[in-house]
């Protein structure tokens, strides 16, 4: 193994164990952000160490049980044949040979890890879970939101949503067409009776016009006379998959106001190697399901739909080309044929602050009853 690879692995282990000083930790986190392979190695090695710790705990627990059993048997406190001489050796071997096999297996695995440096733990680890990021509204949140909506309605006269609707779950959605068509995740609007969207522009009732549960996508249409069509959308939709390590950002509603997050694309496939999605490193919380993922050119490259529970900062997004596929399928299977998806971004070349300013009016909180 190359010396620099050994140093890298040593740095990864020191980072995971919290042994780095503050300056080293900052430098290493910058390296993670700029190098997707190093970032992936940190996640995989974390899983490996967790597995090792679990096996160690099982071994210690089993050893303790066997010691207690032998002690009680020798003291005559339980009915068990007292073993002497060779019989005791055979007994102990039969008791511990499985543990010894586990220890030998761990040694082999460790050697493979030090040789390969990557893909230490299979993505099918039973301890890894995918978490959808729709959110549940508390009664206080719903009351606060209704009060804010009522104030906005009085000021702008932009809401015809009845105030007695008890919205209980929600997420995020964003415009795909100037006439009021939006996309969100299918799990966000699952079993919905009534759906509304809301941002600084207003609050509107919407209806589901198409769903693709397999791809976790749903197309909504504003069904509200108070809604005014947009003249254009500031972002375009990319037909290509994102590039490893490219910077990305998102806007969503994990809170009652729009929240900005930034990160980068860390893998071209999603959870457990899912080819429909990609892996991104970005702050994602409940309510972020349905948030657009945009690159630095202001092109939508995906829609956020979940995160990995045991790897902080890792989330997943359905790739934008599947949004385009779903829209084309909708046109063939329904009478909705007038949806026009922009391919060109109007915010390419602008600084991030200006890009966010122009995009936020097209991103909505999705509220579901």
Q: How confident is the model at residue 43 (pLDDT cuts 50, 70, 90)?
A: confident
Is 344 a residue whose pLDDT tops 60? yes
Enter the pTM of the model. 0.64
Q: How far apart, in whole angstroms, are the C-alpha atoms of residue 315 and residue 24? A: 26
- The reply to whether CATH 2.40.10.120 applies to domain 129-369 is yes
CB 300 within 8 A of CB 294: yes
Q: How far apart, in whole angstroms, are the C-alpha atoms of residue 249 and residue 294? A: 5
- DSSP class of residue 278 equals E
CB 347 within 8 A of CB 298: yes
pLDDT digits (tens, 9 = 90+) for 182-233: 999 999 999 999 999 999 999 999 999 999 999 999 999 999 999 999 999 9
Q: Which residues lie across from 249 on neighbouring strands?
A: 262, 294
User: What pLDDT, on a 0 to 100 scale, did the predictor assign at position 29?
Assistant: 82
pLDDT, greater one: 343 or 162: 343
Please give the full DSSP string across 119-181, using - where no structure is assigned.
Answer: --S-TT-TT--EEE--EEPPHHHHHHHHHHHHHHHHHH--B-S-TT----EEEEEEESSTTSE
The residue to which tokens 């397999």 are assigned: 214
Q: How confident is the model at residue 125 (pLDDT cuts 50, 70, 90)?
A: very low
When mean pLDDT is compared over 52-61, 112-121, 308-317, 319-328, the highest value belongs to 319-328
- CB within 8 A of 219, min separation 6: which ones? 176, 181, 182, 183, 208, 209, 210, 211, 326, 327, 330
pLDDT digits (tens, 9 = 90+) for 258-282: 999 999 999 999 988 889 999 999 9
What are the boundaries of each domain within the chain?
A: 3-116, 129-369
Q: How confident is the model at residue 146 (pLDDT cuts 50, 70, 90)?
A: low
Lowest mean pLDDT among 140-144, 199-203, 291-295: 140-144
């Amino acid at each position: 193994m190359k010396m620099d690879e050994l140093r890298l692995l040593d740095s990864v282990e020191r980072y995971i164990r919290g042994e780095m000083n503050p300056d080293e930790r900052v430098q290493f986190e910058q390296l993670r952000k700029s190098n997707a392979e190093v970032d992936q190695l940190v996640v995989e090695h974390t899983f490996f160490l967790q597995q090792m710790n679990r096996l160690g705990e099982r071994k210690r627990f089993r050893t303790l049980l066997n010691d207690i059993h032998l002690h009680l048997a020798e003291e005559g406190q339980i009915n068990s044949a007292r073993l002497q001489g060779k019989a005791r050796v055979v007994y102990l071997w039969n008791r511990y040979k499985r543990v010894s096999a586990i220890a030998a297996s761990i040694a082999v695995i460790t050697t493979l890890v030090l040789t390969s440096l990557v893909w230490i733990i299979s993505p099918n680890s039973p301890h890894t879970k995918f978490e959808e990021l729709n959110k549940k509204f508390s009664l206080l949140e719903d009351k606060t939101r209704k009060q804010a909506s009522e104030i906005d309605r009085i000021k702008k006269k932009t809401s015809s949503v009845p105030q007695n609707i008890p919205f209980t779950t929600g997420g995020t959605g964003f415009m795909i067409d100037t006439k009021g068509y939006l996309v969100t995740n299918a799990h966000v609007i699952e079993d919905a009776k009534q759906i509304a969207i809301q941002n600084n522009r207003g609050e509107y009732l919407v209806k589901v016009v198409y769903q693709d549960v397999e791809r976790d996508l749903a197309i909504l249409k504003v069904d509200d006379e108070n809604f005014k069509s947009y003249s254009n959308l500031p972002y375009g939709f990319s037909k290509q998959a994102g590039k490893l390590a490219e910077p990305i950002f998102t806007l969503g509603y994990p809170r009652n106001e729009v929240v900005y997050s930034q990160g980068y694309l860390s893998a071209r496939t999603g959870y457990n190697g899912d080819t429909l999605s990609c892996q991104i490193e970005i702050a994602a919380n409940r309510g972020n399901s349905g948030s657009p993922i945009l690159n630095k050119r202001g092109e939508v490259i995906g829609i956020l739909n979940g995160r990995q529970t045991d790897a902080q900062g890792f989330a997943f997004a359905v790739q934008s080309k599947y949004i385009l596929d779903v829209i084309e399928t909708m046109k063939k299977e329904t009478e909705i044929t007038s949806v026009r998806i922009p391919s060109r971004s109007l915010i390419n070349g602008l600084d991030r602050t200006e890009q966010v300013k122009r995009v936020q009016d097209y991103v909505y909180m999705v509220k579901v009853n």
